[in-house]
Amino acid sequence: MAAILRKLALGAAAAMLVAGGAWAQTSSIEGDVKGEDGSPLRGALVKIERKDIRGNYKVKSDKKGHFFHAGLPLGMYKVILEVEGKDVDQMDNVRTRLGDPTQVHFDLSAMKKKRDALQRAAETGKLSAEQSREMTPEQRQAMEKQLKERQAAMSKNKELNDAFNVGMDALKTKQWDTAVQSFAKASEMDPKQHVVWAQLAEAYVGLGASKTGAEGDAAMAKGLEAYGKAMELKPDDAGYHNNYALALAKAKKFPEAQAELTKAAQIDPPNAGRYFYNLGAVLVNIGQLEPAGDAFKKAIEADPNYADAQYQFGVYLISKATTTPDGKIVPPPGTREAFEKYLALKPDGSFADSAKGMLASFDTAVQTTYKNPNAPPPVQKKAAPKKK
């Protein structure tokens, strides 16, 4: 009986040793996860994939960015970090051990610094020896491609800037042919630059004004087309609409010019006075006095301190003046105020002498040999539209 008991005890001891050995074969992995800003990253998914035999395990980081997974069979693992559904980092060939957990840490801030440094190196083409060793063949190929594209873009930009600057210098000296060639070259290198198209338009309009007949008309038409491309790329630029309108007026397309100036005033209300003034000037030059007067009035309403608009509105009102039997001019209400406002704003302006003469004529009889006592005063200096 004693022998039997000893055998049972030995069997139980052996069983306990086997069980203890099996328990000791499990291991664990733990670590910390930091986000790109260096702070603990909560809720990141850590995927633990066994490499020697089939086995997949998952755990999420806690509010301190810490994760821990126990009960893993001893073996070789790949540990993958997933953030917002994307694998962002991994550590391969992680061998677990008995006892203390195997440490696996993820620091996305360090990764970001390394990635940014690699990007800067790729842009300059200057890689450190360490960066060169760490790059995969795919990364090296991508970097070489990016560097070639950057060098090509830099070369293209230099040529573009050179062509644009030559064009601008030619515009200043009214060398229209050179300006057209330079801006046309720039527009071919980069068709998405609205400022290039706008300057090409100016060059063509200047060239058209310097020519006569069909040659001048053709250059003007190209200028209008170039303005169209500039506004297509930047439709909210009131200055383009203003200058386009002035070009349309030169081409005797007055309704279109009026529409563009109105649009400019709508786009840029603070400068609406300038656009309405230009509209008035265009209308005066085609003999449309009533609409011109209305435009000058709108210019004053938009900007009461627009001196030239005050003067031109006064001239418009003078056209409605009457003359008394004794020869005195009786201007409509607001005429005197318009000329006085102009002089207050521009006492030495180009219209100052004319404005003073108008005011003086209101107090003296008009000496005239004309038979019609209601004849209007002499035609005043025409308004000159202004570019933005």
Tell whether 254 and 376 lie within a shared domain.
yes
Return the bridge partners of 90, or none: 80
Residue 205 lies in a domain: no
Tell whether 264 and 385 lie within a shared domain.
yes
Residue 226 lies in a domain: no
The residue type at 218: A
Residue 145 lies in a domain: no
Closest CA to 82 of 33, 129, 149, 128: 33
Tokens found for residue 85? 């559904």
What pLDDT tens digit does each residue of the chain (388 aa) get? 444 444 444 444 444 434 444 445 889 999 999 999 999 999 999 999 999 888 899 999 999 999 999 999 999 999 999 999 999 999 999 999 999 999 999 999 888 887 777 766 655 555 666 666 666 677 677 767 766 766 665 566 888 888 899 999 999 999 999 999 999 999 998 899 899 999 999 999 999 999 989 999 999 999 999 999 999 999 999 999 999 998 998 888 888 988 998 999 999 998 899 999 988 888 888 888 898 899 999 999 999 999 999 999 999 998 888 888 877 878 899 999 999 999 999 999 999 999 998 888 886 654 444 444 555 555 455 566 666 6
Q: What is the CATH number of the domain that holds 91?
A: 2.60.40.1120
Tell whether 374 and 248 lie within a shared domain.
yes
**Where does a domain end: 79, 114, 135?**
135
- Three-state secondary structure call for residue 37: coil
Q: How far apart are the first and last CA of the chain?
A: 118
Residue 142 lies in a domain: no
Q: What is the CATH number of the domain that holds 260?
A: 1.25.40.10
d(CA 350, CA 311): 10
CB 177 within 8 A of CB 171: no
d(CA 335, CA 320): 10
Residue 56 lies in a domain: yes
Domains in the chain, number:
2
Residue 36 lies in a domain: yes
Tell whether 250 and 373 lie within a shared domain.
yes
Return the bridge partners of 45, or none: 60, 82
201 Cβ neighbours under 8 A, 6+ residues apart: 223, 224, 225, 226, 227, 230, 243, 244, 247
Residue 370 lies in a domain: yes
Distances from the Cα of 162 to the Cα of 158, 172, 175, 259, angstroms: 6, 16, 17, 36
Tell whether 387 and 257 lie within a shared domain.
yes
d(CA 125, CA 120): 8
Tell whether 241 and 375 lie within a shared domain.
yes
Tell whether 246 and 378 lie within a shared domain.
yes
Closest CA to 198 of 174, 234, 251: 234
d(CA 214, CA 274): 32
The DSSP call for residue 191 is: T
Which residue range(s) make up the domain with 120? 29-135
Tell whether 256 and 378 lie within a shared domain.
yes
**Where does a domain end: 135, 164, 189?**
135
Tell whether 380 and 271 lie within a shared domain.
yes
Tell whether 130 and 256 lie within a shared domain.
no
Tokens found for residue 219? 């250059």
Tell whether 121 and 240 lie within a shared domain.
no
d(CA 221, CA 8): 112
Residue 20 lies in a domain: no
Distances from the Cα of 153 to the Cα of 148, 156, 192, angstroms: 9, 5, 14
Tell whether 127 and 260 lie within a shared domain.
no
The DSSP call for residue 24 is: H
**Where does a domain end: 135, 152, 175?**
135
